[in-house]
């Protein structure tokens, strides 16, 4: 039998202690996780970036609560689920890019929320 050669990869070493996660990034991600959107709403109001995304997340929470009550109809829960997942991923992309871009469909309405 032939001996198997070990392949050595030259990967850069990553020091996990030096990686900093921005607080607004974590709070922004929480904004789009349904009921967890209340955490940034109450505790992240000092930062405009978090406040903007918490309004978007609260609008999604309202859509999610409408979806809960739509289970009496045969097709509506599936449509609401697709919409919520689409909005969540749109919000995650906006957070990752650091943008304050309104969500599709409900974004303009969410910007006008006065809460």
pLDDT of residue 91: 92
Q: Are 37 and 60 in contact (CB under 8 A)?
A: yes
Instruction: Please check whether residue 13 lies inside any domain of the structure.
Output: no
Instruction: Please check whether residue 66 lies inside any domain of the structure.
Output: yes
Which of 68, 110, 69 minimizes the C-alpha distance to 87? Answer: 110
Instruction: Please check whether residue 7 lies inside any domain of the structure.
Output: no
pLDDT of residue 90: 92
Instruction: Please check whether residue 79 lies inside any domain of the structure.
Output: yes
- Please state the domain count of the chain: 1
CA angle 2, 5, 10 (to 5 degrees): 170
Instruction: Please check whether residue 12 lies inside any domain of the structure.
Output: no
Instruction: Please check whether residue 61 lies inside any domain of the structure.
Output: yes
Domain with 37 in it: 23-111
pTM over 0.75: no
């Amino acid at each position: 039998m032939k001996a198997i050669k070990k392949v050595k990869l030259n990967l850069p070493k990553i020091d996990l202690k030096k990686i900093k996660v921005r607080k607004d990034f974590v709070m922004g991600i929480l904004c789009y996780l349904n009921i967890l959107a209340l955490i940034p709403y109450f505790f992240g109001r000092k930062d405009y970036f978090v406040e903007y995304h918490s309004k978007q997340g609260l609008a999604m929470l309202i859509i999610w609560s409408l979806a809960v009550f739509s289970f009496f109809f045969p097709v509506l829960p599936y449509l609401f689920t697709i919409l919520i997942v689409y909005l969540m991923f749109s919000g995650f992309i906006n957070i990752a890019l650091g943008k304050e871009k309104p969500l599709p469909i409900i974004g303009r309405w969410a910007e006008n929320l006065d809460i």
